[in-house]
Amino acid sequence: MEDHEIYWNDKSKIWARAGWYADMAKKWGKNDLWEDAHWIGDMIVKYKPTSLLDVGCGSGRLFQLWNGLGIKDVEGIEYSKLIFDSVKQNEFNVKVHNMSIIDQSVPRKFDMVFNTQVLLHIPPQHIEKTFANMIKMSNKYLAMIVWYEVKRINKDKASSYKKYGNSFSHDYPALFKQFNLKVIEESNITFFNKRKNVAWLIEICQ
Ligand SMILES: C[S@@+](CC[C@H](N)C(=O)[O-])C[C@H]1O[C@@H](n2cnc3c(N)ncnc32)[C@H](O)[C@@H]1O
pLDDT beyond 50 at 10: yes
Q: Residue 160: its pLDDT value, please?
A: 73
Q: Is the pLDDT of residue 20 over 60?
A: no
For a mutational test of ligand 1's pocket, the pick from 2, 5, 8, 147, i.e. the residue with the most ligand atoms closer than 8 A to its C-beta, is 8
- The CA R_g of the chain, rounded to the nearest whole Å, is 16
Mean pLDDT, range 189-194, rounded to an integer:
71
Quick one: pLDDT at residue 50? 97
Average pLDDT of the chain, as a whole number: 85
**Residue 91 vs residues 22, 40, 51, 143, 166: alpha-carbon distances, Å:** 11, 21, 18, 24, 32
Q: Which residue has the higher pLDDT, 139 or 64?
A: 139
Measured from the CB, is residue 143 less than 6 Å from ligand 1? no
Task: State in Å: Cα 30 to ligand 1 middle.
Answer: 24
Asked whether the predicted pLDDT for residue 24 surpasses 80, the reply is no
- Rounded distance from Cα 121 to ligand 1 centre (Å): 8
- Which residue from 143, 10, 21, 14 is spatially nearest to 89, judged by alpha carbons? 21
The pLDDT of residue 86: 82
Report pTM. Answer: 0.91
Report the run of H or E that residue 61 belongs to, with start and end. none
> Is residue 177 over pLDDT 50?
yes
pLDDT tier at 60, thresholds 50, 70, 90: confident
Question: Residue 181, Cβ neighbours under 10 Å: how many?
Answer: 22
Question: Is the separation of the CB atoms in 69 and 41 below 8 Å?
Answer: yes
Asked if CATH classification 3.20.20.410 holds for the domain at 3-204, the reply, yes or no, is no
Atom of ligand 1 nearest to the CA of 15: 27
Query: Is the minimum distance from the CB of 118 to ligand 1 under 6 angstroms?
Result: yes
- What's the confidence (pLDDT) of residue 31? 46
* Burial tier of 109 (Cβ tally within 10 Å: 0-12, 13-18, 19+): middle
**pLDDT for 75:** 98
Work out the burial of residue 169: count CB atoms within 10 Å of its CB; fewer than 13 is exposed, 13-18 middle, 19 or more buried: buried
Q: Is 79 in the pocket of ligand 1 (CB under 6 A)?
A: yes
Backbone region of residue 140 per phi and psi (left: phi > 0; alpha: psi in -120 to 50; beta: other values): alpha
Which helix (DSSP H) or strand (DSSP E) does residue 30 occupy? none
User: Residue 4: left if φ>0, alpha if ψ -120 to 50, beta else—which one?
Assistant: alpha
Local confidence band at 1 (pLDDT 50, 70, 90 cut-offs): low
Alpha-carbon dihedral of residues 144, 138, 127, 18, nearest 10 degrees? 50
Residue 47 Cα to ligand 1 middle (Å):
24
On the question of pLDDT at 39 being above 60, the answer is yes
79-137 tens-digit pLDDT: 988 888 888 998 899 999 999 999 999 999 999 999 998 999 898 889 999 999 999 99
